[in-house]
Structure 1
């Protein structure tokens, strides 16, 4: 016994490494699958490169079933177009590689590929927009040819308003629990946009807790404008361009605890100045895990 113990302790590092790797790869596939299922999608994909045994285990439905949200069957049943998949791993990547339209086609769903947490976007038709059905102020249609592609059938295009108010809400239970989310207004500006370089107010509310942010701009004021020269006190928030070509402005951050009741409410409003505004193309409000 002492001799065997002594010989193990004096093995060369490379020999030890080879033995350790061999001992891992001979584990039963079911044991490996159970172990990988408590890691993460990224770890499971990395483990697949270790050996054939790990590769087989990493493709197991046992693993990917746990990476999918508990209500994934309900979600895919609401998809506008049926989802056809051969394994839970394939389903996971279908849900994380593209946006899936649900219900009427004005709500999109996607999984965060690394964490498996849910992302939703409320299309413009799912939002409450002041005077949205008055054709003097707004029109519904497709994005102009020069604009980015949208995942929805329609967007809401601002013709002119002096009171700009956009609100949305979603059930907290639809989001991943124990997760911090950020809500974003997703939009585009036309070449002749006007009146959108005014400081606005944004709000996110959940469980009776409301967070408001002031001095939010959809468009940076011109350096020659009165607002730029005044340099209002406080922080400024400006939008930035996404990879898909749309612009997004952060509305606020919130923590979804158990998420079993109540709603998350979000809002953007610029109603203080009374200036006429036009040239806003609204795609929706997106909620992404942080």
Structure 2
């Protein structure tokens, strides 16, 4: 196959390779040294970059420095802060599909500016200048919004709340929170816990608060009761739901609501909500 391709002019070969994928182009540079020049050309990698690239570059929080379209592609894969540093944009390394992370500052969080309830602070593990940490509150309401203009059409996306739980956390795993993702008239709901499963703590709570817990759970919609999962970057994530991007100009709302007025909770650290392709 590589021998037959070598017979083609490089510009023709580059055009052909531009209809493959970033993963395929990278494999060709390793598998066949004679194809490397064509596979690394701007003609190929320009096609893998998003069509609204000028807008993304203009929104970047700091100037991007690159010498080729391939270098720019992988720079975007590592994520770039945009919109004054409150959002992060990136590309899926294998597919080139768009990903977006809304920082806590880009979310609507109930009572977030009340210092008795929440604290805005920096965190060494975060890509953003600020995260928000819960001091104490009886109910949590978080909402994020994103336009499908910022995502890849004809793609199924998942929305994930990115969190950490401090050593002094309390009340976060008493009952599941209600999660939802909505677009147009379509609303998908589920449930999830804000804290990883702690069997010992759960057993103690069952002994002392079983009746109260059962009463509170009746107020929550039925769902899977998802638990946070660890991420490679050291944070944890809980899936809020998924949606399909059919076109542009639509707004997606992502919510998490913890039932109010029942139990104080604290120690939750929120980095933001990530929206990324599921396939």
Normalised by the length of structure 2, the TM-score is: 0.89
Q: Deviation at 1:30?
A: 1.5
Matched residue, 2:254: 266
Distance 1:287 1:234 in 2: 21
Q: Does 1:202 align with 2:179?
A: yes
Given that 2:190 and 2:241 are in contact with CA atoms closer than 8 Å, whether structure 1 keeps it comes out as yes
For 2:107, the equivalent position in structure 1 comes to: 127
Indicate yes or no: 2:146 matched with 1:170.
yes
Match of 1:280 among 264, 268, 272: 268
**How far apart are 1:51 and its partner, in Å?**
3.9
Q: CA deviation at 1:31?
A: 1.6
> How big is the alpha-carbon RMSD for the aligned residues of Structure 1 and Structure 2?
1.9
- Which protein, 1 or 2, shows the higher relative CO under an 8 Å CA cutoff with sep ≥ 6? 2
Q: Which runs of 5+ in 2 are unaligned?
A: none
Larger radius of gyration: 1
Once the 2 structures are TM-superposed, how far is the Cα of residue 53 of structure 1 from its aligned partner?
3.9
In structure 2, the residue matched to 1:13 is: none
1:255 aligned to 221, 224, 244, which one?
A: 244
TM-score normalised per structure 1 = 0.86
**Would you say how many aligned residue pairs link Structure 1 and Structure 2?**
264
The answer on whether the counterparts of 2:2 and 2:32 sit within 8 Å (CA) in structure 1 is: no
Aligned to 1:116: 96
State the Cα distance separating 1:26 from its structure 2 match. Answer: 1.6
The answer (yes or no) to whether the contact 2:138–2:260 under 8 Å persists in 1 is no
- Correspondence 1:239 to 2:215: no
Match of 2:23 in 1: 42
Which 5+ residue runs of structure 1 have no aligned equivalent?
1-19
Give the Å deviation of 1:49: 3.1
What are the within-5 Å matches in structure 2 for residues 1-290 of structure 1?
Answer: 21-96=2-77, 98-143=78-123, 149-197=125-173, 198-214=175-191, 216-219=192-195, 220=197, 222-226=202-206, 235-258=224-247, 260-272=248-260, 274-290=262-278
Instruction: Look up the SS of the partner of 1:104 in the other structure.
Output: helix
Post-superposition CA distance 1:189-212 (Å, at most 9, x none): 111101100211001011221100
8 Å CA contact 1:120–1:286 kept in 2: the answer is yes
Cα distance change of structure 1 residues 35 and 192 upon mapping to structure 2, 3 Å threshold: same
Q: CA deviation at 1:223?
A: 2.7
